[in-house]
Chain A
Amino acid sequence: MPTVSDRHARLDMRSRALMSIRRFFTERDYVEVETPVRIETPALELHIDAEPSGDRYLRTSPELHMKRLVCEGMERVFQMGPCFRRGERGRRHSPEYTMLEWYRRDADYLDILDETRALLSRVCFDCLGATEFVYGGQAVTMSGSWSVLNVADAFVRWAGWNPVETYDADRFDLDLVEKIEPALPTGVPVALKDYPAEAAALARCRPDDPPVAERWELYVAGMELANAFGELTDPVEQRRRFEACAAARAKLGKAAYGLDEAFLKALEQGMPDCAGVALGVDRLVMLMTDSATIDEVRAF
């Protein structure tokens, strides 16, 4: 059982990580923004539920508001703050957690993977004095080259089927957790990239054959740490995806959220090419402090 002083040491590390993250982005000419926490229309996701707050909802992510700032012309924005997801409770999930998101104009999803590597190497060095650490008995080096795998290749190799050719949502989620995640290379961070178009979420699709979504997920010591998109900028496709998602939610009997018309209007007026990343700050601190549960790195 961790003692109070263990927890305080972790909070000290957390504080240093927040400072280091802010320094990294300000040095790269990013502007820190704070967008609303109570919002009218949570970003539509089939499996993410928002916590109601009066006549609004607590945000599940700051994504849509931050993209509106990009549409307005801001070139580099970042934000660190609380996000809320209803019913998510586990060793690595807390219904209230801290998310870091950043968006960069004229970057693609692989440019922003490079930037993520620079960020994590820097934060580790600032906090630990080294870019290596041990998590759960597993040594990880953050600097140097990372392992980058296509989702299709990983699934063919470890699960025996190709979800990019024939997608099966139920099988995809289960195999990802049971077969892919445990088999991922160790020692360095791993980015799984090029998701099936059906699992694109808010990523744009590249017209490969079959098409793939410009999305990656980052795993460090087997822990999912970040998700990134080459952002979808097409307002027609975005509306179609929101509507399809709303219909799928209704079919599962989930709470109905309206479409974020302000965001769709911003897309219609034009969104420049950009890429964005969402990264779980609590999990980053868990990694650097070798903490088994998310509760150990939060003050309460």
Chain B
Amino acid sequence: MFSASDLRKGLKVEIDGAPYIITEFNFTKPGKGQAIYNCKLKNLANGTTLTKSYRSNDKLDKPELAQHVLTYSYKDGDHYIFMDENYAQISMGADELGDARFFLVEDIEVEVLYHKGRPIEVVLPTFVEKEIVYTEPGARGDTATNVLKPGKIDTGYELSIPLFVNQGDIVKIDTRTGDYADRVLKKAQA
């Protein structure tokens, strides 16, 4: 159990059986009155937000959370197969992975947060490297970095890339935003 005075930004709590993280926190105290703790909370499972005020003697539950580091192996039909610390296979669906499924690369490690045994959050390395499997050629000699065109990676995800990036190049992608970050390898010219 947490008491209201334990509340702070970043703390994870459980409300009506759902896990929440406190995204904004403010302590306030009306003249001569008791302390009021205003919180904005985000549901870790579905992303919805809510605003709540707690008084000093209110109590909150601690969510039953566990974190595991998994290694991505391969995709099997609609399922994504990972290996846990004990080399046991774990299968996750697209709904559980969300957008993270677009940026999986063989053998990368992901941090998965479980609430009561159910995966609710998948954290990838900040940057992953992916090959551009399809893009239109850019105009010859155009090395401007501020003009963008669409490019596609092997998972079907499409992102905006600079004109000078060609099909077959390896790029670095920021997994927090899904945006192009850098070109790491230019495809060898045939």
> Could you tell me which A residues sit within 8 Å of B by CB distance?
45-48, 87-93, 169-170, 172-174, 176-178, 181, 199, 201, 217, 224, 227, 252
Q: Do A174 and B55 form a contact, CB below 8 Å, given A89-B27, A91-B26, A93-B27?
A: yes
C-alpha spacing A87/B29, complex, angstroms = 11
Sampled A-B contacts (20; CB under 8 Å):
A47-B29, A47-B32, A88-B35, A89-B27, A90-B27, A91-B26, A92-B28, A93-B27, A93-B29, A169-B33, A170-B55, A173-B33, A173-B36, A174-B53, A177-B28, A177-B30, A177-B36, A177-B53, A227-B32, A252-B57
Chain B 56-68 near chain A by CB (<8 Å), digits 1 or 0 = 1100000000000
Closest 8 CB pairs of A and B: A90-B27, A173-B33, A176-B30, A217-B31, A47-B34, A177-B36, A227-B31, A201-B32
Q: Flag if A178 contacts B30 (CB, 8 Å).
A: no
C-alpha spacing A93/B31, complex, angstroms = 12
Q: Chain A: which residue is nearest B57 at the CB level?
A: A252
A93: chain B residues at CB < 8 Å are 27-29
For chain A, what secondary structure do more than half of its interface residues adopt (helix, strand, loop), or is it mixed? mixed
Min CB distance A101 to B, Å, is 14
Q: Flag if B33 contacts A90 (CB, 8 Å).
A: no
| Interface of chain B residues 33 through 91 with chain A (CB within 8 A) | 33-36, 38, 53, 55-57
Q: Flag if A173 contacts B30 (CB, 8 Å).
A: yes
Q: Flag if A45 contacts B32 (CB, 8 Å).
A: yes
Min CB distance A60 to B, Å, is 11
C-alpha spacing A193/B126, complex, angstroms = 55
C-alpha spacing A196/B35, complex, angstroms = 19
A48: chain B residues at CB < 8 Å are 32
Q: Flag if B34 contacts A173 (CB, 8 Å).
A: yes
B167: chain A residues at CB < 8 Å are none
Most buried by A among B31, B38, B57: B31
Min CB distance B37 to A, Å, is 9
| B135 interface residue per 8 A CB criterion | no
Most buried by A among B27, B32, B55: B32
> Could you tell me which B residues sit within 8 Å of A by CB distance?
5, 26-36, 38, 53, 55-57
Min CB distance A176 to B, Å, is 4
C-alpha spacing A48/B35, complex, angstroms = 9
Q: Flag if A88 contacts B33 (CB, 8 Å).
A: no
- 8 Å CB contact of B33 from A87, A89, A92, A172: A172
Q: Chain B: which residue is nearest A201 at the CB level?
A: B32
Q: Do A47 and B35 form a contact, CB below 8 Å, given A87-B5, A88-B27, A93-B29?
A: yes
Beyond known contacts A46-B34, A88-B27: 10 more, CB 8 A cutoff: A45-B32, A47-B34, A88-B29, A89-B27, A90-B28, A91-B26, A93-B28, A176-B30, A177-B30, A201-B32
Q: Chain A: which residue is nearest B36 at the CB level?
A: A177
Min CB distance B7 to A, Å, is 11
Min CB distance B59 to A, Å, is 14
B33: chain A residues at CB < 8 Å are 47, 169, 172-173, 176, 199
B30: chain A residues at CB < 8 Å are 173, 176-177, 181, 224
A181: chain B residues at CB < 8 Å are 30
C-alpha spacing A177/B34, complex, angstroms = 11
Min CB distance B153 to A, Å, is 36
B26: chain A residues at CB < 8 Å are 90-91
C-alpha spacing A122/B74, complex, angstroms = 73
C-alpha spacing A48/B29, complex, angstroms = 10
C-alpha spacing A208/B18, complex, angstroms = 49
A177: chain B residues at CB < 8 Å are 28, 30, 36, 38, 53
B28: chain A residues at CB < 8 Å are 90, 92-93, 177
Min CB distance A46 to B, Å, is 8
C-alpha spacing A47/B57, complex, angstroms = 12
Min CB distance A228 to B, Å, is 10
C-alpha spacing A88/B27, complex, angstroms = 8
C-alpha spacing A91/B27, complex, angstroms = 7
Min CB distance A227 to B, Å, is 5
Q: Do A178 and B29 form a contact, CB below 8 Å, given A88-B35, A173-B34, A173-B36?
A: no
Min CB distance A111 to B, Å, is 20
Q: Chain A: which residue is nearest B25 at the CB level?
A: A90
C-alpha spacing A45/B16, complex, angstroms = 34
